[in-house]
Amino acid sequence: MFRPNKKHLQSAIFTSVDQLSPKLQKRLKESWAEVFYKEFFSRLEEDPFVVLYSEIPSRPNIPVNVLVGFEVLKAGFGWSDEELYDAFCYNLQVRYALGYRDIREGEFDLRTVYNFRRRLSQHMQQTGKNLIEKAFEQVSDEQIETFELKTGKLRMDSTQIASNIREMSRLQLLVEVLQRVHRMLGEEDQERFKQDFKLYLKGSSGQYVYHIKGEDVDDHLRPIGELMHRLVDDLRADYGQEPTYQMLVRVFQEHFTLDDKDDPRPRKGKELSAGSLQSPDDWEASYRRKRNEDYQGYVANLTETCDPDNDFQLINKVQVEPNTTEDADMLKQALPDLKERTGVKRIDTDGGYGSPDVDEAMRKAKVEQIQTAIRGRKPSEEKLGLEDFDWEIDEDGKPQEVICPHGQSVEVQPGRKEHLYLAYFDSVICRDCPFAAQCPTEPLKRKPRHVLRFAQQETDLALRRKRSADVRATGKNLRAGAESMVRSVKHPLGNGKLPVRGKPRVSLMVIASAAMTNIRRIQGYQEKLREEKRKAREAQKQMQDAIKNVFVSFWGFLQRCLLQHSYSKMVVRAIPI
């Protein structure tokens, strides 16, 4: 039964914290624990998590903000579950961060944390809704509003996240799947397929492939494919709803194809999809090769504020997808939510985030994309490109007027098809143009005009190139801090090698680490303010001391003057007239 946690708002008269000396109490309230309590724990709305609990009157739940706080602390400090639980039991800072002021309060079993994670994962798989993601966004939005951070400019970057799965060869993966299918079968079916599985049950899948040479692997794939093909047909009626059977079907379809005689043939390397199953323990992890390195797992896409006027920046969105997902697709997916929550007007990215679909989404959202580089073929140095022209576009991003490098300005006219345009230039002017040999326009045969034909996608690409070049010319790259953001999130997570599997659990840890990164940034900002105040007090004290010294010196001088004046009078009176 769900019950919100309001107890931490009313502290007891005497607590364990009160037993600390004033110096230690001050140190505690200036530590990360106070920031965590005020800026995360107290802001977290628990009501969205009510769907995880029964409506039937029963024992009240362990506070949701405590359980979510557990996940943030675990990811932020890189703790194991046992280390986390020990820290909660014996570390006063951890208890203070979670709203407990007395060491005797809040005892519960670690199994409660496991059950909470399981319910979160099941809810995400059943509904597609990530409650932790929504909680993070709700808290970060409140933090941004509290510290008056500007959100009109954002930056985005992605990074590879490795799932906690074994690196398996293709043959080992297939044998592992067969072994798990055998464990799924009932006793009668195990006896029926005894001879078929005999060869693959003599040891683990790793032991099976250990003595097989690389050139002999293909000879073992075909009989495995034949067995899988037969199992798919024979087991469908009795085991069709079993997850292991569904895994068998998926693996067979990914690794084998049927020839003209309906016999399974192993797919060749290039025929295998990067999204194929990488491990029986993580169905959503995928394979990607990037910069000559192999990755198995997921990609995390992080977005944060980057306005130079902000005192510090905060992460405000985290996305986790299989690592075959393109950066541009994640930007397109995130854009509507970012626009609604932040009112963003500019997003700085690298070259991987550009695509025609993103250009269209940016036009509709009225957001400007600034890329540090443009993916694709570089423009020819011998020919002028559309980026060398100046453009006037309307609110919808459609070109209205174009100015050539020679300065001739003409209106843009629609072409015969949608998203195609024409621009007619005067041939008389073009004849004397110094760029005539490089110009992409074409002369018309019947009219003294040169025509420039282009599409909306080409215009969008040209505008992106111009914006990128303009930013490079200023020397101000707002995306420069994106690598620091990525490192801050990955560092506590074993630098990207997570101890968990599956998209729900991977997503939970990455989001939790991002939340702790925000806490550290807020703490750093507050420490900076305290240091500035301390320096200001010292400067004020030095000024007061200087004024005091001047006053004392002046007063001494005045006293000496008065004494000399009095002495002079006495001397004058003593002289006879």
425-483 tens-digit pLDDT? 999 999 889 998 889 999 998 889 999 999 998 889 888 888 888 888 888 889 988 99
Q: Element (H or E) spanning 553, and its range?
A: helix 503-574
Q: Both 96 and 203 in a single domain? A: no
Domain finish residue from 221, 237, 271: 271
Judge whether residue 572 has pLDDT over 60: no
356 in a domain, yes or no?
no
β-bridge pairing 153-162 and 346-349: parallel
Q: Both 124 and 4 in a single domain? A: yes
| Residue owning tokens 């070259």 | 351
Domain finish residue from 98, 129, 160: 129
CA distance readout (Å), 100 to 11, 14, 392, 400, 436? 9, 12, 60, 63, 76
Which amino acid is present at 318? Answer: V
Residues paired with 413 in a beta bridge: 422
370 in a domain, yes or no?
no
pTM of the model: 0.88
253 in a domain, yes or no?
yes
Question: d(Cα 180, Cα 228) in Å, to the nearest integer?
Answer: 12
Q: What mean pLDDT value characterizes the chain?
A: 91
The predicted pLDDT at position 519 comes to 97
Judge whether residue 487 has pLDDT over 90: yes
- CA torsion 523→525→529→532, rounded to 10°? 120
Judge whether residue 565 has pLDDT over 80: no
510 in a domain, yes or no?
no
Judge whether residue 378 has pLDDT over 90: no
Question: d(Cα 360, Cα 346) in Å, to the nearest integer?
Answer: 15
Q: Both 180 and 125 in a single domain? A: no
**Considering only CA atoms, which of 389, 358, 348 is closest in space to residue 471?**
348
Q: Both 191 and 252 in a single domain? A: yes
For 20-58, the pLDDT digits (tens) are: 999 999 999 999 999 999 999 999 999 999 999 988 877
Q: Both 35 and 122 in a single domain? A: yes
The predicted pLDDT at position 216 comes to 86
Q: Both 245 and 192 in a single domain? A: yes
Q: Both 5 and 124 in a single domain? A: yes
The predicted pLDDT at position 556 comes to 84
Q: Both 174 and 266 in a single domain? A: yes
328 in a domain, yes or no?
no
Q: Are 335 and 362 in contact (CB under 8 A)?
A: yes
Q: Both 125 and 59 in a single domain? A: yes
Q: Both 12 and 117 in a single domain? A: yes
Question: d(Cα 301, Cα 318) in Å, to the nearest integer?
Answer: 6
Whole domain around residue 13: which residue ranges? 1-129
Q: How many domains does the chain have?
A: 3
567 in a domain, yes or no?
no
The predicted pLDDT at position 120 comes to 95
Q: Any idea how long the chain is?
A: 577
Q: Structure tokens of 32? A: 């990360």
117 in a domain, yes or no?
yes
Domain finish residue from 456, 482, 503: 456
Q: Both 1 and 123 in a single domain? A: yes
The predicted pLDDT at position 472 comes to 83
Residue 314 — pLDDT band, cuts 50, 70, 90? very high
Q: What is the mean pLDDT of residues 179-199?
A: 94
499 in a domain, yes or no?
no
Which amino acid is present at 549? Answer: N
Q: Which residue has the higher pLDDT, 108 or 93?
A: 93
The predicted pLDDT at position 233 comes to 94
CA distance readout (Å), 72 to 105, 125, 133, 145, 194? 20, 21, 12, 21, 48
Q: Both 27 and 125 in a single domain? A: yes
The predicted pLDDT at position 119 comes to 94
